[in-house]
Structure 1
Amino acid sequence: MVQIVIVGAGPTGVTLALLLVKRGITVTLIEATKDFHRVFRGEGLMPSGLEALEEMGVSALLKDIPHRQLDAWEFIIGNKQLFQVDEPMGATQPCTLVSQPLLLKALISSAQTNDGFEFIQGLPVKDLLWSNQRVAGVTLSDGREFAADLVIGADGRNSLVRQRVGLELVRQPKNIDILWFKLAASPEFAENNVFRTILNGDRAFTIFHGAESGKLHLAWIMSATENTDSKQANWAEIFASLSPSWLAEYFRNHADTIESPIRLSVVVGYCPQWHAPGVLLLGDAAHPMSPVRVQGINLAFRDVIVAANHLVPLLHKKTGHQDIDIALSRIQAEREPEIIRAQQLQLEEAKQGELLRKNALVRSLLIQLAPLLRKPIKKSWLKRQYKMRQGITQVHLTV
């Protein structure tokens, strides 16, 4: 019997598997998809996420995979710059964009150099195994069964493990719907990589250069009354009409490089309980995050560190299942305050954006008074970002 089965080879599952096998814990990692190239994978590593990778001892892997630092954040309203803030904004490292598929491959390659690690890809988990009302393993779609001392659900916001064990997900009242685009990037975007948020009227989008060479990423925030035909719309002209002249010209000149958009309907919520006897949820499976200020991957890494701190000593002692199950509640108790506060901060930030989108008077005043209001607004924004960038609690690997 393996000690740990981890369901889901995203950032949460892969990093936890690596930490455990490096410490002599037997792990089977199971991933339903045949490769890591999903429609969308978050790329943004905040200082808290970069520090977590350093704690895990894997930050050197970033040197060998595509990554790109952000240079600044800029907010443009009605074609006028409201303010710009340069990275790293008081941190020791700037926000860094990384190719998540290649990062996951590198982490798995590192795990595979250790004994006691098995990676199964392309076969989904069909169900959970039970013994005396405790989760005791998993059944794969091909009928194979894997018994385990503990099953970790790291299978994302639509977690099958969460559904099978019956743990509740309390969703925020409305999902966040986004259209995600890529288009060609000329060299100047890479040389000065600014994350721009552009608001014109009640329409808003963000644009930045991703980790992938020569590609701009653009997120169109959909409103509740959105009626644009995403497949037929002249997106180059739509973006141009909302942009300052230099960017409008760029959209028109590169219209043929704009890829067909992908619609993302982002579920945001929180599990009041992350665990049941024999099973633990981590990352988006326990607390699917809003895309505001790219918190998901960063908080997932911090979940992993805390879980390893609690689990490794018990698994080395080959302690009983009761002690393991008690540790699961301690993991949640340690992580819960940061997760709850982070979601509150994300919601507050989103409300600021909604106010600007819905209130024409506020937008008009900001545009007219931008020279006078720039400094206080910038100071207020910076204050709100600190905890979402640096983390709300201290997290250190102790095993």
Structure 2
Amino acid sequence: MKNDVQTNPTHDIVDVQTTNCCIVGGGPAGVVLALLLARQGIAVILLEAHKDFDRDFRGDTIHPSVMEIMQELGLSDRLLQLPHHKMHQIRIQTPQETVTLADFSHLKTSYPYITMLPQVKFLEFIIQEAQKYPNFQLVMGANVQELIESDGVIQGVRYRGGGGWHEIRAILTVGADGRHSKLRQLGGFESKESSPPMDVLWFRLPRHPQDAEGGMGRISQGQILVMLNRGDEWQMGYVIPKGGYHQIRAAGLPAFKESIVIAAPELSARIENLQDWSQIAFLSVESSLVKRWYRQGMLLIGDAAHVMSPVAGVGINYAIQDAVVTANLISQPLKNQQIELHHLAQIQRQRELPTRIIQAFQTLIQQRIFAPVLSSHQTFQPPAWLRFPILRDIPARLIALGVFPVHVQT
């Protein structure tokens, strides 16, 4: 295993803090884990590299599985008081017909829909809850650069920010810092990567009150366009062949806008709102799974452990489920100030199988729907099983609730 950790700093340390758990990364997995530990009186420090939580085109889909977790925490009602929208179905529209891919209204849950809520609002909401506990500490602008190791055990991190270098000593260090995880790199973790056949271009266009609800995929003449309801805006995801971005840029913005109108003709009067490539964000679609999520004193969760494709928007929800399982299994060992490898191994055992299953489902959708459309301009034919409502309940349940239910233990 690659070893990038350092025991003796070569720079001046401004201060040294100690805590039970140091979480690196203020995304959904990190903030929920911090809240769950803080609620149990466990000292936790959350480090976030940025100065705020506002990022463009972050995942905004909160599935019923997470809403049920929020309900168990007594937070669901207040969370739904924030401005949001509900997606009851995922549909695919072609020039010939509209087919429902998943219908959430049939599910046995108190939240039979996907909640469309800006991720920044969700993160701020959870942080406000965590800050009610005196044993929780948040540090923004903390750029973690080093791991602290002694006799093969990770004992914390060193980060830059707030006027210099700082050191946090922790019984457990958790990497929840996303798909480009610095902790994964520093810890020398190995991952197995797959090759999704696509990338995505994200942008926004005005949404009219008479427009459809959202959750719509448009497929036409080799074009795939995803439309997500953001109130007075559509968040648009234009799916392109893997590696095709430079070719699209070279063809020019007018050609790109024309391809959007081919997929969604009703946007012809609004497409002129795209005036520059700076309005368009490129997402390189990746999918990977870390072989072993833990070392002595250290654990990876969320995208740091398993990078998800954006298909079905499940990444946030699986990351939060990771956080819940982690809190369930390590809270008592942290209170006892003794984390063993078998505690961390049990987390991976519980979470790896559902992660593999959902990644296989995403791969199936990419290979059976996206890849053929992107590689051919023939008329798209929806799979025959989509015409049977009872079969549509299978992907609906998988997307909405996950493979196995996850519950908060108290």
1:114 — aligned with what?
A: 133
In the alignment, is residue 395 of structure 1 matched against residue 406 of structure 2? yes
SS at 1:392 equivalent:
coil
SS at 1:64 equivalent:
coil
Matched-pair identity in %: 27
Residues 14-53 of structure 1 mapped to structure 2, 5 A cutoff: 14-53=31-70
- Deviation per residue, 1:52-88 (Å, 9 max, x gap): 22233332332332211014322122x1224236542
2:259 — aligned with what?
A: 238
User: Closer, same or farther in 2 for the Cα pair 1:224/1:131, shift >3 Å?
Assistant: closer
2:270 aligned to which of 226, 240, 254? 254
Shift of 1:378: 5.8
In the alignment, is residue 223 of structure 1 matched against residue 241 of structure 2? yes
Supply the AA of the counterpart residue of 2:346.
R
In the alignment, is residue 65 of structure 1 matched against residue 87 of structure 2? no
1:164 — aligned with what?
A: 186
User: Closer, same or farther in 2 for the Cα pair 1:110/1:374, shift >3 Å?
Assistant: closer
Q: Distance in 2 between matches of 1:67 and 1:87?
A: 17
**126-135 or 68-77: bigger deviation:** 68-77
Residues 84-95 of structure 1 mapped to structure 2, 5 A cutoff: 84=100, 86-92=103-109, 93=111, 94-95=113-114
1:342 — aligned with what?
A: 358
Residues 1-399 of structure 1 mapped to structure 2, 5 A cutoff: 1-77=18-94, 79-84=95-100, 86-92=103-109, 93=111, 94-141=113-160, 142-174=164-196, 176-189=198-211, 192-210=212-230, 213-224=231-242, 226=244, 227-229=247-249, 232-234=252-254, 235-243=256-264, 248=265, 250-258=266-274, 260-318=279-337, 320-321=338-339, 323=340, 325-353=341-369, 354-358=371-375, 363=379, 366=381, 376=387, 380-399=391-410
**230-239 or 335-344: bigger deviation:** 230-239
SS at 1:229 equivalent:
helix
Q: Distance in 1 between matches of 2:402 and 2:103?
A: 19
Aligned-CA RMSD value:
2.2
Name the TM-score, length of structure 1 as normaliser.
0.89
Contact 1:230 1:261 survives alignment (8 Å): no
Contact 1:27 1:118 survives alignment (8 Å): yes
User: Closer, same or farther in 2 for the Cα pair 1:219/1:308, shift >3 Å?
Assistant: same
Q: Distance in 2 between matches of 1:178 and 1:342?
A: 19
SS at 2:199 equivalent:
strand
Structure 1 runs not aligned, ≥5 long: none
Q: Distance in 2 between matches of 1:386 and 1:193?
A: 20
Name the TM-score, length of structure 2 as normaliser.
0.86
Structure with the largest fraction of helix = 1
Aligned length: 380
**111-120 or 86-95: bigger deviation:** 86-95
SS at 1:114 equivalent:
coil
- Deviation per residue, 1:178-216 (Å, 9 max, x gap): 100111111123xx4131111112221111212xx3110
Structure 2 runs not aligned, ≥5 long: 1-17
SS at 1:393 equivalent:
coil
SS at 2:400 equivalent:
helix
User: Closer, same or farther in 2 for the Cα pair 1:230/1:39, shift >3 Å?
Assistant: farther
SS at 1:18 equivalent:
helix
User: Closer, same or farther in 2 for the Cα pair 1:137/1:357, shift >3 Å?
Assistant: same
Supply the AA of the counterpart residue of 1:398.
Q
Supply the AA of the counterpart residue of 1:258.
L
Q: Distance in 1 between matches of 2:122 and 2:36?
A: 15
Shift of 1:375: 6.4
Contact 1:83 1:374 survives alignment (8 Å): no
